[in-house]
Amino acid sequence: MAADQPIPVVTDLAGVSVRKYTTDQVILDGIDWTVRAGEHWALLGANGAGKTTILRLVGATMHPTEGTVEVLGHRLGRVDMRELRSRIGFVSSAQKVPVDQTAHTVVLTGATGTVQPLWRKYDDDTKARAHELLAELDLKDLADRPYGVCSGGQRARILIARALIADPGLLLLDEPFNALDLPSREDLIDAMHRLAATRPRLTTVTVTHHLEELAPNIGHALLLRDGRVLARGPVDEVLTGARMTECFGRPIEVGRLDGRWLARSARPRAQA
């Protein structure tokens, strides 16, 4: 793409609000947010801030109560949601996959968007592609290992390979580091960093609670508080101590070391 051409918009939320019909509870209130091709966003906020609801909107699994949501050039309400979802990769430790099947088979199910494999749908090229993705994510030797006996970190990377096999235009990661130990977390961060380097048009949105889980390629962040946007934009402008303190409601100190983020709760200094 020429340098003077605009970068395509992957998803755009304009004046988006979501309310529960039964109680009229406000879940999201007046959200404006634009994500462009090749950007990597972190979505942060306390529990109940609205992160999961935003992910459901951009993942084409629900409609807003007010406002417009456009994903991959299509406006929700004017597109077949099932077809749109086939172009969106989704990764969550809670998603259902066949735990008794091999890692290679689990990746194949991403090509059909099914829980169980549909063997007649997978040609030799698709099967080879699944092996390539496993190798790319340092899982080549696990191709024939049952998913259920893989470690948490290995499972997370298998699910990313599963999401990528359909060549999605958008990759959503819902707390992918949940319950991972330190080595597994670092392996996953390294894998995401490599993917960003080898796929310059890959667009990702990662929901997390911890700055330490952000890979160095994360360039933008959206902070939510009580269903509203507190801040959005480049990480250096958004992930500040002042804004994180306002977002989470307690004093937070933020730092950065070798491209990685650090955060801790600031404690009052003892009186002399």
210 shares its domain with 272: yes
Residue 2 resides in a domain: no
Q: Specify the range with the lowest mean pLDDT, choosing from 19-28, 67-76, 131-140, 184-193.
A: 19-28
CA 209-11-37 angle, to 5 degrees, is: 90
**CA neighbor of 160 nearest in space, from 201, 213, 220, 110:** 110
In a shared domain, residues 50 and 154: no
Q: What are the residues whose beta carbons fall under 8 Å from the beta carbon of 105, sequence distance 6 or more?
A: 98, 117, 147
Residue range(s) defining the domain that contains residue 148 = 96-167
Pairing of strands 228-234, 220-225: antiparallel
Q: Is the pLDDT of residue 271 over 70?
A: no
Q: Is the pTM of this model over 0.85?
A: yes
- One domain, residues 204 and 72: yes
- What is the amino acid identity at position 57? L
Per-residue confidence (pLDDT) for residue 2, from 0 to 100:
52
Whether 101 is covered by a domain: the verdict is yes
Q: What CATH number is associated with residue 207?
A: 3.40.50.300
Per residue in 247-266, pLDDT (tens digit) is 999 999 999 988 899 999 87
User: 24 lies in a domain?
Assistant: yes
Q: Are residues 129 and 18 part of one domain?
A: no
263 located within any domain: yes
Q: Point out the least confidently predicted range of 62-66, 128-132, 209-213.
A: 209-213
Q: Encode pLDDT of 45-58 as tens digits.
A: 999 899 999 999 99
Domain count, the chain: 2
In a domain, 192, yes or no: no
Residues 174 and 247 occupy one common structural domain: yes
Are 109 and 78 found together in one domain? no
pLDDT digits (tens, 9 = 90+) for 146-181: 999 999 999 999 999 999 999 998 999 999 988 888
Specify the pLDDT at position 4. Answer: 63
